[in-house]
Amino acid sequence: METAYTAAATLAAYLIGSLSFAVIVSRVMGLNDPRTYGSGNPGATNVLRSGNRKAAILTLVFDALKGFVPVLLVTIFGRRFGLGEGTVALVGLAAFLGHVWPVFFRFEGGKGVATAAGVLLGIEPWLGLATLLTWAIIAFFFRYSSLAAIVAAVFAPFYQLLIWGGGPIAIAVTIMGLLLVWRHSANIQKLLKGTETKIGQKAVPAPVPAPQHPPGKHGHHGHGHGAKR
């Protein structure tokens, strides 16, 4: 019976993680789909590039909550159903994987930074805070969200192993860390080339064509061709 409870909790966590709030919030607020501009990543950082800070904050909060809440529920109520640390680890990893490969959005998800942070906070608040502090320090000094996420993803498993030890939680945190680094491979290339977008820098959405004069009107000297449609 415990196996059935574990499977149900893991599936529920994956489905909750599959709710892509970057897309949902953008649709509700009448914004462009975040997959169509900037990095194309449906996450809070890319939503911020739309210029709408409120939408970015809402995306960040909800993406973190969908990792935090399932883990917290299993931590609080799981023991009465025989669910232990192994299930907590599975549920946290499932919520993260749901964000990265969401079943509701053709398995095209975000990088999972906020959701991973929510999972870590649910597993062990001090682990989550230490990882968030690492992110904040790198982000403050270098102004690159991607670099901060990569460094935090590398440090999180070490924090877990050095302070709280190994086990299923350490394995889940390590898998999330490796996937986060892998999901940032394109950002790593941009960082190396010096073309990565900094935090708060507005990315160029889908290009808007410049206004053109109607054919046959207001022609300019030296132009022998009409405006193309």
Task: Tell me if 23 sits within 8 A of 44, measured CB to CB.
Answer: no
**CA 196 and chain centroid, separation:** 17
pLDDT tens digits, 81-114: 889 999 999 999 999 999 999 999 989 899 999 9
| 161 — pLDDT class (breaks 50, 70, 90) | very high
Q: How far is the first Cα of the chain from the last one, in angstroms, to the nearest whole number?
A: 65
Q: What is the pTM of this model?
A: 0.84
- How far apart CA 88 and CA 66 sit, in angstroms, is 14
Rank 41-50, 65-74, 220-229 by mean pLDDT and report only the highest.
65-74
* Residue 221 burial (C-beta neighbours within 10 Å; 0-12, 13-18, 19+): exposed
User: Mean pLDDT of all residues in the chain?
Assistant: 88
* Residue 68 burial (C-beta neighbours within 10 Å; 0-12, 13-18, 19+): buried
